[in-house]
Chains A and B, each alone.
Chain A
Amino acid sequence: MTAEVRFDAVQHRFGSFTALHQVDLTIAAGEFIVLLGPSGCGKTTLLSILGGFLTPSAGRVLIGGRDMTHVAPKDRPTTTMFQDYALFPHMSLRDNVGFGLRMRGIGRAARNARAGEMLDMVGLADKAGRRPHELSGGQRQRVALARALAVSPDVLLLDEPLGALDLKLRRQMQEELKAIQRRVGTTFVHVTHDQEEAMAVADRIVVMNQGRIEHCGTPQEVYLRPATLFSANFMGEVNRIPVASGGATPLGPMPFGQGTLCLRPESIGLAGDLPLGPARLEEAAFFGAYLRCYFRPVAAPGMRLVAHLPQGLHLKVGDEVALFARDPVILPTESGAVA
């Protein structure tokens, strides 16, 4: 089961603080959407509004074309996977997963069968009789997912579900989440502040900042062609080079209009279509997959460029090389958008 979600001019205020300015967003049925942003950007507020835990100050929420703005959480075709999982400690996994079905008046046999099915899907079929406190963090996380999906929601809301896991487990769970989402076809709306996680799971990423949507697009679009300086910064490390009107830069004239030239570290190298001129290697660190190098351009010794170069390269500190760049992005300079 799956459905389209639409936010129609949604606003929300907590007292005098505006948590969400005007938010318009359409999520296609079956899409895996990630709401990404720093804490306080409004992503959790937006999720709570979709789940029915908050009523927006203005605007409408439509799920599957029906207005859900004032419908209680339990009457919405959504379920939530909570940040701390919120598993019921006094119930077995089977009863936890079957809880939603029980609330819908489904008999014990049927709901146990369904719970078994869901636990099987997350690889915990053999632990159905256990209590939540007997499980590891990753296992609890799977149970929470099974419980939320057991009632076949149209939309599953995930509130920083992987935040409590360590890095390795988190990467593994991201893959599982993605695979399960493909299998069940439910619309997933996932909130996180980890941009790598967002790129790993999302069909589309919604970058939010200060109650507004900064950028919305596929991971490639958001990473490689950010719409604002904020989203360029938030998605990953970036070298910023000011460009004056007429294309003048500290590195010499470039074929751009006024703004800020943004270059990812991996877009700077010894070959490419945009020459950056000679630069001196100041420092290099071995990171396994790449060499992280700091360069000082000869033309602008006050500037420092970060580049990720292939690890096979033989460069010594002090060497002077000609740098080039790929995938340049020029963004309007704005005040107050520096992350």
Chain B
Amino acid sequence: MRIETRERRLGAALVAPALIWTVAFFVLPFAAMVWMSLAHLDGRMVVPGPDAGNYLRIFTEPSLRRGIWVSLQITAIVTVISVLLAWPLAWIIAMRVPPQWRRLALLLAVLPFWTSYVVRSYSWALVLGERGVVMNALTGIGLLSEPVQIMATRSATVIGFVHFFVMLLTLTIYANLVQLSPNYARAAEDLGASRFQVIRLVILPLTLPGVVTGAFLTFVLCIGDYITPQILGGNNELTVPQLIMLQLGRRGDYPMASALAVVLMAIVTLAYAACARWLRMDRL
């Protein structure tokens, strides 16, 4: 047998288990889900399709169409605010904090990143509640005469999300910043740029890959999350994941849940295509 052939067979044998696992438990279920999305529910019976009824309903029925709109809005707001908050934080940690404290500062800055979604959202419910720490402090120092309702509004959802994604973006932007040679900034300063110009004209453009990677992850994770809007946002306006869970729970409407999931997936794919040029998934 040729050496290359033997090598290839061995390589294939090593890849096979992981590949089989991914195909069996990811690709196939996904395909089954797409197929299911083309079926429809008749009473409690699933009638196999293919028919596009679910998709038509998603774009015509106000409650469903609104869900997509709400999800997109929240995701867009969260992504923008998170980037704006995270970039200076990452920059300060990378450039202003003394080197020996940098790892510690980064570790602290992303510590709550590692708590579960459920616990994190619950913590925000504690903080933002009518009798929570924030309202207590604001009324205590007289800034507010009486508590304002934040919990069970979109603001609570956005705050909860921003909290998480600031940490995520800080990580990706920081990773990008520390890879930059300090000589870029030195060269720019040497050529007469002010410190602000250095940041705006040199550092900022160079961190674009980190920003885009982080923003994409933010988009994907935010638009697909069920917990945060469910715990913090309540049921006043429903996001797509909440709608999916609603289909599953109340009606057992798997076809509609699947169709919503496919739409969600399509939105993510579009987002990916939009920023594919700058994405460096391998750098994470």
The interface of chain A, by Cβ under 8 A from chain B, is 52-55, 70, 72-73
Contacts and interface: CB of A to CB of B under 8 A. Distances in A.
B3 interface: yes
Nearest to B6: A72
A15 B2 CA distance: 16
Contacts of A52: 3
Contacts of B4: 54-55
Contacts of A55: 2-4
A262 to B, nearest CB: 41
B284 interface: no
B133 to A, nearest CB: 50
B104 interface: no
B56 interface: no
B143 to A, nearest CB: 59
A47 to B, nearest CB: 14
13 contacts: A52-B3, A53-B3, A54-B3, A54-B4, A55-B2, A55-B3, A55-B4, A70-B1, A70-B2, A70-B3, A72-B3, A72-B6, A73-B3
A26 to B, nearest CB: 23
B6 to A, nearest CB: 7
- How many chain B residues sit at the interface, stated as a range, is under 10
Interface of B is mostly: helix
A53 B3 CA distance: 7
A55 B4 CA distance: 7
Contacts of B2: 55, 70
Contacts of B3: 52-55, 70, 72-73
Given A52-B3, A53-B3, A55-B3, 10 more contacts: A54-B3, A54-B4, A55-B2, A55-B4, A70-B1, A70-B2, A70-B3, A72-B3, A72-B6, A73-B3
Kindly name the residue among B1, B3, B6 whose own CB sees the greatest number of chain A CB atoms within 10 A. Answer: B3
Contacts of A70: 1-3
Nearest to B5: A55
A281 to B, nearest CB: 46
A72 B3 CA distance: 7
Contacts of B6: 72
A20 to B, nearest CB: 15
Interface string B1-35: 11110100000000000000000000000000000
A53 B6 CA distance: 11
A55 B3 CA distance: 6
A137 to B, nearest CB: 26
A52 B2 CA distance: 10
Nearest to B2: A55
Nearest to B3: A55
Contacts of A53: 3
A144 to B, nearest CB: 23
A14 to B, nearest CB: 11
Contacts of A73: 3
Kindly name the residue among B1, B2, B4, B6 whose own CB sees the greatest number of chain A CB atoms within 10 A. Answer: B2
Interface in B18-69: none
Q: Which 9 A-B pairs have the closest CB atoms?
A: A55-B2, A55-B3, A55-B4, A52-B3, A72-B3, A54-B3, A70-B1, A70-B2, A53-B3
Interface string B221-254: 0000000000000000000000000000000000
A55 B5 CA distance: 10
Nearest to A49: B3
Kindly name the residue among A52, A55, A72, A73 whose own CB sees the greatest number of chain B CB atoms within 10 A. Answer: A55
A333 B2 CA distance: 41
A60 to B, nearest CB: 13
A15 to B, nearest CB: 13
A19 to B, nearest CB: 14
A52 B6 CA distance: 12
A55 B7 CA distance: 11
Nearest to B4: A55
B34 to A, nearest CB: 38
Contacts of B1: 70
Nearest to A71: B3
A73 B3 CA distance: 9
B61 to A, nearest CB: 56
A70 B2 CA distance: 6
A78 to B, nearest CB: 13
B183 to A, nearest CB: 26
A73 B2 CA distance: 12
A54 B6 CA distance: 11
A54 B1 CA distance: 12
Nearest to A48: B3
Interface in B133-152: none
A253 to B, nearest CB: 58
A75 to B, nearest CB: 11
A53 B7 CA distance: 10
A211 to B, nearest CB: 19
B9 to A, nearest CB: 13
Contacts of A54: 3-4
A71 to B, nearest CB: 9
Contacts of A72: 3, 6
Nearest to A53: B3
